[in-house]
Amino acid sequence: MKSLSYTDRIPYCSNPVAKNLLKIMDEKKTNLCFNPDVTKSSELLRLTKLVAPYICTLKTHIDVLEDFTPSVTNELKKLAKEHNFLIFEDRKFADIGNTVKLQYEKGVYQIANWADITNAHVVAGPGTIKGLEAIGKPKQRALLLLAEMSSEGNLATGSYTKNALKMAEDHSDFCIGFIAMKKISDDPKFLHLTPGVKKEIGTDKLGQKYKTPRSVIFENQSDVIIVGRGIYQAEDPAKEAKEFAKLGFNAYLERLS
């Protein structure tokens, strides 16, 4: 079957965030999502500014910041607008619907007010999605489900992954796709984002497993590479981000041809 371009897939999507992400990827010629998992706001903003031209999405773990104030997320929103990328808070919600509603909208971080995308585990069942949807849909937000994980020994396999796919299909106006290691659905409206990406295959000391951009995008048919340490621990993060963006996008072009 011929592979569709990101732009070709836009008409299949009902969610505005999914449409926008697909548009940005072809426009900016990048399928790179960068996660600077750093603990100081100034460092988060510095790294984001450096890589902004080369990314389609910035992935945050806002709760690891030691000096969080709402001005950080305001700054990120400004940068996102200026440089045309989306913000994805990797919150991995996993509780019952009523609790995730509160965690998504309230508390210190008020994630629903600034993150275009967030994600959830499906372990608690569809109530998690319904709770997040009640807050996120009116704000034109989007959700990714963790259908598979990159870490050694994880339990998101087999029927768990199949159930995640079914839950996304049942809520496809709000669920725009998956965190997964490979394409798990042929439906062109679903996006697949894959973490555990470095230039060489390998592992870290805590069970993270790394694949290369080409194996993720070309061989495993995923859509977006998620790169953290491979970029922010490099001597020149901007140069590295540019290179990852090129590797990821070339693998996508190879898939199209």
Contacting positions for ligand S5P (CB under 6 A): 35, 37, 61, 90, 149-151, 179, 195-196, 208, 226-230
Closest approach of Cβ 41 to ligand S5P, in Å? Answer: 17
Closest approach of Cβ 210 to ligand S5P, in Å? Answer: 7
For 106, the token pair is 């309230």
CB of 33 or CB of 251, closer to ligand S5P? 33
CB of 73 or CB of 119, closer to ligand S5P? 119
Alpha carbon 57 to its chain's center: 7
Residue spans of alpha helices (H) in the chain: 6-9, 16-28, 41-51, 70-83, 97-105, 126-136, 158-170, 213-214, 229-232, 237-256
Report how far residue 101's alpha carbon sits from residue 94's, in angstroms, rounded to the nearest whole number. Answer: 11
CB of 58 or CB of 179, closer to ligand S5P? 179
- Residue closest to ligand S5P, measured at CB: 228
3-state secondary structure (DSSP) of residue 117: strand
Closest approach of Cβ 149 to ligand S5P, in Å? Answer: 3
Report how far residue 86's alpha carbon sits from residue 192's, in angstroms, rounded to the nearest whole number. Answer: 15
Q: Which residues pair with 143 in a beta bridge?
A: 118, 175
Closest approach of Cβ 225 to ligand S5P, in Å? Answer: 9
Closest approach of Cβ 247 to ligand S5P, in Å? Answer: 14
Judge whether 8 counts as a catalytic residue: no
| Inter-residue long-range contacts of 203-212, CB under 8 Å, 24+ positions, other chains counted | 203/152, 204/229, 206/151, 207/151, 207/152, 207/153, 208/150, 208/151, 208/152, 209/150, 209/151, 209/152, 210/150, 211/181, 212/247
Judge whether 95 counts as a catalytic residue: yes
Residues 95, 183, 209, 239: which is the catalytic one?
95
CB of 115 or CB of 226, closer to ligand S5P? 226
Cα maximum dimension of the chain: 49
Helix axis angle for 97-105 and 126-136, nearest 10°, is: 30
Residues 49, 92, 182, 183: which is the catalytic one?
92
Query: Annotated catalytic sites, by residue?
Result: 92, 95
